[in-house]
Amino acid sequence: MSARGIAILGSTGSIGCNSLRVIESLGAERFNVVALAAGRNVKVLADQIERHHPELVSVETEESAAQLKAELMARSVTAPRLVCGEGGLVEVATHELADCVISATVGAVGFVPTLRALEAGKRVALANKETLVMAGELMTRAAQKSGAELLPVDSEHNALHQCLRGEKRSEVRRIILTASGGPFRTRDKVTMSRATVAEAMKHPTWNMGAKITIDSATLMNKGLEVIEAHWLFGFAADEIGIVVHPESVVHSMIEMVDGSVIAQMGVTDMRHAIQYALTYPERFPSELPSLDLAKLSSLHFEAPDLERFPCIAPRVSGPGNGRHASGRHECGQRRGGARIHRRTDRAFRYPAGD
């Protein structure tokens, strides 16, 4: 088998950098980086170009492109073909040598290029859940039409994909997303409204980008994940449960009609899910440590507190509530999550690394 071509949207962010580590660990005979897109983090991008030699690179603006060119020249590194803006992102996403596109930009900017990649029939390893929250129907329809595969990189959805692979959809009663509960899991309601960004950034288990870490603090992220799960796997709102699990060892679960629960577990390192999305349906040895349950000693589970975390309230309130599954996820922006979202909004236009 020749090496599969990889394009990365958001290469200098948390998922992007981890993806490159995974690709490197799997070896050049298996995966080959053909195109990268990033925002303004020219230094890190230059490092990546020096190491992976992509044919095409896109940055946010012409100004960044000029900076990158200068940076590469200073290092005596041959510049790849350089493009920029949304047009550049689409070029990266549809590069003819790319078999798989890792969609890891944050927010709306990933929407068009991800859609184009699916339309072009490429496998999309999707870390950008906003894409599905905004336009899940459009995305899944495009994938169906072209035969493209949509593989989730979010640890919860990646876990669900793994659990579901041996099972028939009709025999799955419901899926259960785990939530770490974030840094405010045990914080009282009164002082929670005074929480600072710095406190919200202290995620108990996962080391991730800024936006998703903040969203995890309000559980807004879990609300978005319910919508994401709906589009990826075709479950209705009342077939999607949430259980708080502070250790994040059980990444998610499915419950079968006979009551059996299949769970996927692992260490909390995003490289697991990235590798799975790249190598599926095969699995390759990973350099990550094995999960040691005896060393962990105990795993905890609790029902989510809908009063302190209203972002997930409508999503677990019972059957027939399809509102959030159609993308109208208004509550998180208005209530508990509002202050933090507003205060940090500017940081989220591009991946954390940018």
Determine if 299 is a binding residue for a copy of itself (CB under 8 A): yes
239 within 8 A of 254, measured Cβ to Cβ: no
The per-residue DSSP string of 233-256 comes to H---GGGEEEEE-TT--EEEEEEE
Determine if 193 is a binding residue for a copy of itself (CB under 8 A): no
Determine if 73 is a binding residue for a copy of itself (CB under 8 A): no
3-state secondary structure of 214: helix
Report cis status (omega within 30 of 0) of the bond before 281: yes
Question: Which of the ranges 135-143, 160-168, 182-190, 305-313 carries the binding residues for a copy of itself, by CB under 8 A?
Answer: 160-168
Query: Which token pair is 86?
Result: 């949304």
Q: Nearer to a copy of itself by C-beta: 36 or 273?
A: 273
Determine if 186 is a binding residue for a copy of itself (CB under 8 A): no
Residue whose entry in the numeric block shows the structure tokens 């070896």: 27
Determine if 293 is a binding residue for a copy of itself (CB under 8 A): yes
Among 70, 108, 236, 296, binds a copy of itself (CB under 8 A): 296
Determine if 274 is a binding residue for a copy of itself (CB under 8 A): no
| Torsions phi, psi for 324 (to 5 deg) | -70, -30
Determine if 277 is a binding residue for a copy of itself (CB under 8 A): no
Among 169, 282, 307, 320, binds a copy of itself (CB under 8 A): 282
Residue whose entry in the numeric block shows the structure tokens 């998180």: 332
**Using CA atoms, how far apart are residues 326 and 70, in angstroms rounded to an integer?**
45
Determine if 302 is a binding residue for a copy of itself (CB under 8 A): yes
Determine if 165 is a binding residue for a copy of itself (CB under 8 A): yes
- Number of chain residues interacting with a copy of itself (CB under 8 A): 50
Residues in region 77-136 near a copy of itself by CB under 8 A: none
Q: Point out which residues pair with 84 in neighbouring strands.
A: 59
Counting Cβ atoms within 10 Å, is residue 327 exposed (0-12), middle (13-18) or buried (19+)?
middle
Contacting positions for a copy of itself (CB under 8 A): 162-168, 171, 173, 243-245, 250, 253, 255-267, 272, 275-276, 279, 282-286, 288-291, 293-294, 296-303
